[in-house]
Amino acid sequence: MLQVILHAADIQDRDGGKLLPATVVGLFPFLRKLYADAGYRGPKFRTALKRVLRRVKLRIVKRADAANGFVVLPKSWIVGRTIAWLNRCRRRARDWEDLNRKALAFVRLASIRLMLRRLCKGT
């Protein structure tokens, strides 16, 4: 996980996503592609991204119109799998935190735990 942004539940994803490019620009100048789901489709997010990260190509992963039932979307399984791994942490199973900074801290701790388990698994 490169970056996490938490915002209030009454903010749409594409409106909250405008906060992402400003936080990522200095940390990861080597980024060239950004995959996003259909919730980030639209001119607001695209212009906010181009204003800060000019070289990044935005790829919207959307469901095929001809699909019937459940269909695995390319690249979207990465996000779903990562969220599932982070939610396996007992503290992340419920939203007990009353402040966004506390919730963000526990997301980061769960991510650190996941990476440490992977690094130590081979030893």
pLDDT tens-digit series, residues 52-109: 888 888 888 777 677 677 777 777 777 777 777 777 776 666 666 677 788 788 888 8
- Whole-number pLDDT of residue 83: 75
Backbone angles phi and psi of 109, in degrees to 5: -65, -40
Most confident of 12-16, 17-21, 25-29, 54-58: 54-58
Amino acid 85 reads W
List alpha helices for 71-99, DSSP H. Answer: 76-87
3-state SS, residue 58:
strand
Work out the percent of the chain whose per-residue pLDDT is above 90: 0
- Contact between residue 52 and residue 21 where contact means Cβ atoms under 8 Å apart: yes
Range 108-119 average pLDDT? 86
Q: pTM, whole model, 2 decimals?
A: 0.66
Beta bridge partners of 61: 37
Residue 113 scores a pLDDT above 70? yes
Q: How far apart are CA 85 and CA 22, in angstroms?
A: 27
Range 117-123 average pLDDT? 80
